[in-house]
Amino acid sequence: MIKHIPNTITAGNLFLGCLSIVATFDGNLTLAAYYILGAAVLDFFDGFAARMLHVHSEIGKQLDSLADVVSFGVAPGFIFYAISQEHLSFGAGFLQFVPLLVIASYLPFLIPIFSAVRLAKFNIDTRQTDSFIGVPTPANALFICSMALVMASGPYYAQEIYTSVSFLLIYPILMSYLLVAELPLFALKFKQFGWKGNEIRYGYLLGSILLLFIFQYFGIGLSIILYVLLSLFNHLKK
């Protein structure tokens, strides 16, 4: 019975991802974002439970990736698509041509595609035991969740950024690249809780708390940007 606990938690992650997609179809992007946030919590605890109970299994590893494709790839892709469809409009110019408009409209679905590629690479890449190569799919999902929450609660200047044509066109392309790029990023995995060796982790957690306190929901997206920038700084320093 105990050996099934981590996989049951993973199944809960997948279930919340499905509920997020349903909420997006119903036009409730705020609820869709909260479901993904819940899935992220379960994604943390399934691995934690597997380590605590010493019940690692190959099927658990594969199930975790399949659940993450839905919760952190497909579900946020649909949220971004919904926001894009509502706010992506073009004035006079070459983007009024129907083929280009269609391509622009479906750019959000690059997110689930490259999330799947990212997760497949993670499963076979032995370099990613203590760190990541490429932006983790939950980080991208949290950024898109912050978009949905900002749409509902502000701040206004963040809404202006997230609904701009340039952002809606550039983000899915840029993030799809960052998901699979050979970009080393630190992982929030603590082998011990002392300051030495964990400076960047504690610094990031403190910075994220400050961003959330100052910018509210917009701070979630800013904390993801901070994560990438600190990882780049840490890599260059080494």
CA 182 remoteness from chain centre: 17
Which pLDDT value is given to residue 45?
80
Q: Are 173 and 110 in contact (CB under 8 A)?
A: yes
pTM of this structure: 0.88
The pLDDT tens digits for 106-155 are 899 999 999 999 999 888 877 766 678 889 999 999 999 999 999 998 88
CA torsion, points 3, 7, 9, 12, in degrees to nearest 10?
Answer: -150
Confidence band for 44, pLDDT divided at 50, 70 and 90: confident
Residue type, 82: A
Which pLDDT value is given to residue 90?
58
The pLDDT tens digits for 45-99 are 877 666 676 667 777 778 888 999 999 999 999 999 999 988 876 554 545 565 6
Residue 217: pLDDT above 90? yes
Q: What's the CATH class of domain 2-188?
A: mainly alpha
Question: Whole-angstrom Cα distance, residue 212 to residue 179?
Answer: 24
| Residue 96 DSSP symbol | G
Q: Which residue has the tokens 């490259």?
A: 114
The pLDDT tens digits for 164-196 are 988 999 999 999 999 999 888 888 776 666 667
Which pLDDT value is given to residue 92?
47
